[in-house]
Structure 1
Amino acid sequence: MEKFTKLTGVAAPMPLINVDTDMIIPKQFLKTIKRSGLGANLFDEMRFDADGNEIPDFVLNQPAYRNAEILVAGDNFGCGSSREHAPWALLDFGIRCVISTSFADIFYNNCFKNGILPIVLPQEDVDKLMDDASRGANAKITVDLENQVINGPDGGEIAFEVDAFRKHCLLNGLDDIGLTMEKEASIDTFEAEMEAKTPWLKAV
């Protein structure tokens, strides 16, 4: 998993509330178990019409936000079903951070496991960042995970909270497999001890 330390990028404003996981990545794209390729269908029913043409008014279709790496979203983002494809699609598109007043629990947890930083802030702070994001590609936002602050394009600073363990995982690029591999030496020792104690269990 790619480390998340400090991110400076374009923030796309999406003030819609209750954006569920089916809106993020519709069910017809869930057949794959690959994490790559889903970005093309992120927000598919909002980005494209029935003929597959881009809907110009949708924020990520606008020139200023095509390369957005931060999403400033409305309340209760990621609600609905528990599909892990939702953070996969966001990440594949290039979104590394989502900021909202609240997230659905499963989506929130899945973000951390896939290298995306979800940040919960009070409404007034989200409103400020939404306003910053609406100014387009020249108004970049910096998210500093180490110091737990967001810096706006005008130099304003907003502090945010994050669980210490999840912060550690993101800073070091550790997903569930990576966390397990941190214990590789202990696992090898345990396996050697078990093999010595129960040699009859050794695979032929």
Structure 2
Amino acid sequence: MTGWRRHEGLAVALPVEGIDTDQLIPARFMSRPRSAGYGGYLLHDMRRDAEGHPVPAFPLERPETAGASILVTRRNFGGGSSREAAVYALIDAGFRAVVAPSFGDIFAGNAVNNGLLPAQVSAEDAERLLAALAAGPLGAEVDIDAGAVTLGGLACPFALSEAQREKLVNGWDDIDVTRRHEEAIAAHRAALAAARPWLWPGATRDQGAR
């Protein structure tokens, strides 16, 4: 995964609160391989009617939103089940950042581990951004180092922990973070093996753990 610090792209408004992971990608599509791409299933049941036809009034179905990469929405985005496929659907649809007042905790963790920024802004700033986008999508900038989303004359700060920032900038997930400590882990393992060889059945005191 490639890390990033700054992104310029088209911002689109989705003025709905409480969009959960079951809405982001319905479970019936999750049996398909990731290699096939999940972007076409993003918010499928909100974007399609009962017959499967696009709903023209839905924000992401409007022609002018094609190519949008920054999604601005309302509170509690990504609540519900822990499905990582919800993040895959957003990424495969071209999104690099979601801006909202709050996120489901597991969704936010999955997002960061996959290079998608969950930019948490105040409820007031979210409404200002949504109001600015009411007439249609606009160019925007997301700067991880500055911790701000800029759209037109608005510059809205967002909350991001240092651990989240480090992962996004370096393109790391939890395994990558652990690998930074490989030498310390190996040294601890060797010391433990020497002191308590019985923890590794079959290993002699001289061999320790391998």
TM-score if structure 1 supplies the norm length?
0.86
The answer on 1:151 being equivalent to 2:150 is yes
For these two proteins, the number of residue pairs brought into alignment is 200
In structure 1, which of residues 165, 180, 199 is the aligned counterpart of residue 163 of structure 2?
Answer: 165
**Is the 1:35–1:85 contact (alpha carbons within 8 Å) kept by the matching residues of 2?**
no
Aligned position for 1:182: 180
Runs of 5+ consecutive residues of structure 1 not aligned to the other structure: none
**Could you tell me how far 1:20 is from its partner in structure 2?**
1.1
Query: SS in structure 2 opposite 1:199?
Result: coil
The answer on 1:81 being equivalent to 2:81 is yes
**Is the 2:38–2:92 contact (alpha carbons within 8 Å) kept by the matching residues of 1?**
yes
**Is the 1:35–1:88 contact (alpha carbons within 8 Å) kept by the matching residues of 2?**
no
Identity %: 34
Aligned position for 1:11: 11
Note the 1:15-26 alignment, pairs <5 A. Answer: 15-26=15-26
Q: Which moved more, 1:25-34 or 1:40-49?
A: 25-34
**Is the 1:142–1:151 contact (alpha carbons within 8 Å) kept by the matching residues of 2?**
yes
**Is the 2:114–2:173 contact (alpha carbons within 8 Å) kept by the matching residues of 1?**
yes
- TM-aligned CA distance change 1:50 to 1:198, over 3 Å: farther
Runs of 5+ consecutive residues of structure 2 not aligned to the other structure: 194-202
The answer on 1:52 being equivalent to 2:60 is no
- Higher alpha-carbon Rg: 2
**Is the 2:190–2:208 contact (alpha carbons within 8 Å) kept by the matching residues of 1?**
no
Matched AA of 2:41: N
TM-score if structure 2 supplies the norm length?
0.84
- TM-aligned CA distance change 1:136 to 1:198, over 3 Å: farther
